[in-house]
């Protein structure tokens, strides 16, 4: 299997279908924490992707299509722009287009059962109705008209549900071509007369196209298509439309009126909406269930669907090599993205360093206090302070005054409870005024003889002893 081409977070695999404007590929979307999803990627031909006007309109149409959320519409997930590339990322659907299914039915010398044909078209009509009723974020109608409803743009899923695809593409293509030479492009054989004549179109143009699709499903013949565009346009504007039951004996006459109303050349004589046409079809005959449609689909294109499923499995099995290497994620940190996880690790490392420093300081202070407690012998000479060079005189500790170690322990406990690291300064205590006997004078050292200052302790209003220097 050839290595896929990667654009952004998408890997583009083999081609699924091709048209005059774009190719459709099987793709894989990759994301954080090993997330993957199979998608369909529509890739515009390079010539069109270089046209700024077309690209802008196409992106705008894709944005509008994203407003349509319905089970019978293939979802648009993303739009990717790269140098000379334009990708439309869509929901991947297992199935086959109605155009290819009709070819398979003709090949098998079979017919499309009426209940199957109605199920396919009713699904399409419900999807079209959702598009026609789509609104903006502000709740304003978007006025979306597909304008390219045809067997090529109806996809029958392996689950038996039909979805409308390719919203907006034909509309964008038509605008581009009109700005160049004034002609109208599209599938002429399915266009409403007002669309061909360049008049304003609304949802009833899609109803007309749906009527053409239904007529052709029931009869397995082409309605307006001729040997060239001139003949096709002539048929579209003036040909008398035969009743389906006259050409296909299995079609009930109750359907004839519904089909012919949808094909009325005057928009005001058609169904006013796709939903109205779907209701009329459901009242005229039995509509097959999705399970029945899926079974019928497999009977005609089952081999093709199996081949695509096998290709999909190969892509999914080989997608592991496409993943960007990521550090293992702690299973207890569900929902935390990579950057947040890294930031959390940095915070934990910082806290560990601070905690280690606090413990080292406490241990150092505890050692000093232990040495103070051991001074039961006559006091030692004065020693120079390592902080400011002043002289300190060690004093016996009274039993009624808290020791330095107990103060440090209390401060450390408070810091641990609050989750905030704290530095602890431990000061030696002076004897209580109630201690018995005068304090012994230390033997003066050379440093003491050279200084006329000494350190003493004063108890403030809060009962905390603070050192002070007294000089003569």
Mind telling me the catalytic residues? 148
To 10 degrees, the CA torsion angle through 39, 44, 49, 52? -80
- Closest-CA residue to 65 (of 47, 50, 77): 77
* 79: β partners: 88
CA distance 162 to 160: 7
CA distance 285 to 218: 13
* 392: β partners: 383
User: HSE (CB half, 13 Å, CA atoms) of 366?
Assistant: 11
Do β-strands 391-392 and 383-384 pair in parallel, antiparallel, or remain unpaired? antiparallel
Q: Give me the helices (H) in 239-273, please.
A: 244-247, 254-262
Q: What is the DSSP string of 165-218?
A: --TTHHHHHHHHHHHHHS---S-GGG--HHHHTT----HHHHHHHHHHHHHHHH
Structure tokens at 235: 């048929």
């Amino acid at each position: 299997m050839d290595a896929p081409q990667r654009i952004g977070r998408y890997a583009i695999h083999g081609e699924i279908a091709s048209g005059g404007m774009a190719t459709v590929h099987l793709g894989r979307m990759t994301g954080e924490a090993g997330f993957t999803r199979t998608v369909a990627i529509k890739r515009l031909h390079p010539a069109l992707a270089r046209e700024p006007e077309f690209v802008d309109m196409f992106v705008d149409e894709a944005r509008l299509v994203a407003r349509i959320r319905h089970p019978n519409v293939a979802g648009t997930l993303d739009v990717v722009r790269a140098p000379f590339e334009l990708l439309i990322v869509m929901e991947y659907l297992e199935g086959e287009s109605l155009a290819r299914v009709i070819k398979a039915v003709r090949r098998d010398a079979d017919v499309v059962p009426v209940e199957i044909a109605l199920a396919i078209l009713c699904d399409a009509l419900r999807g079209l109705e959702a598009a026609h009723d789509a609104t903006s974020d502000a709740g304003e109608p978007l006025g979306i008209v597909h304008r390219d409803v045809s067997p090529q743009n109806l996809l029958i899923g392996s689950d038996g549900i039909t979805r409308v695809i390719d919203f907006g593409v034909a509309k964008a293509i038509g605008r581009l071509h009109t700005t160049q030479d004034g002609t109208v492009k599209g599938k002429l054989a399915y266009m409403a007369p007002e669309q061909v004549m360049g008049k304003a179109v609304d949802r009833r143009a899609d109803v007309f196209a749906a009527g053409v699709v239904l007529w052709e499903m029931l009869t397995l013949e082409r309605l307006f298509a001729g040997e060239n565009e001139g003949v096709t346009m002539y048929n579209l504007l003036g040909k008398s439309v035969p009743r389906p039951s006259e050409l296909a004996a299995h079609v009930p006459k109750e359907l004839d009126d519904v089909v012919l109303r949808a094909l009325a050349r005057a928009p005001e004589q058609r169904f006013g909406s796709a939903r109205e046409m779907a209701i009329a079809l459901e009242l005229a005959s039995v509509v097959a269930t999705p399970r029945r449609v899926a079974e019928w689909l497999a009977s005609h294109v089952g081999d093709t669907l199996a081949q695509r499923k096998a290709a999909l499995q190969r892509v999914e099995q080989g997608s592991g090599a496409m993943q960007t290497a990521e550090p293992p994620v702690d299973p207890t940190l569900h929902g935390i993205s990579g950057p947040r996880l890294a930031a959390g690790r940095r915070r934990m490392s910082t806290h560990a360093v601070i905690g280690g420093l606090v413990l080292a300081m406490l241990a150092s202070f505890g050692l000093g206090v232990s040495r103070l407690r051991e001074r039961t012998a006559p006091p030692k000479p004065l020693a120079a302070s390592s902080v400011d060079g002043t002289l300190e005189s060690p004093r016996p500790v009274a039993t009624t005054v808290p020791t330095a170690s107990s103060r440090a322990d209390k401060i450390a406990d408070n810091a641990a409870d609050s989750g905030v690291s704290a530095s602890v300064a431990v000061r030696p205590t002076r004897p209580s005024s109630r201690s018995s006997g005068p304090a012994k004078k230390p033997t003066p050292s050379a440093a003491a003889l050279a200084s006329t200052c000494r350190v003493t302790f004063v108890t403030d209003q809060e009962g905390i002893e603070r050192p002070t220097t007294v000089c003569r």
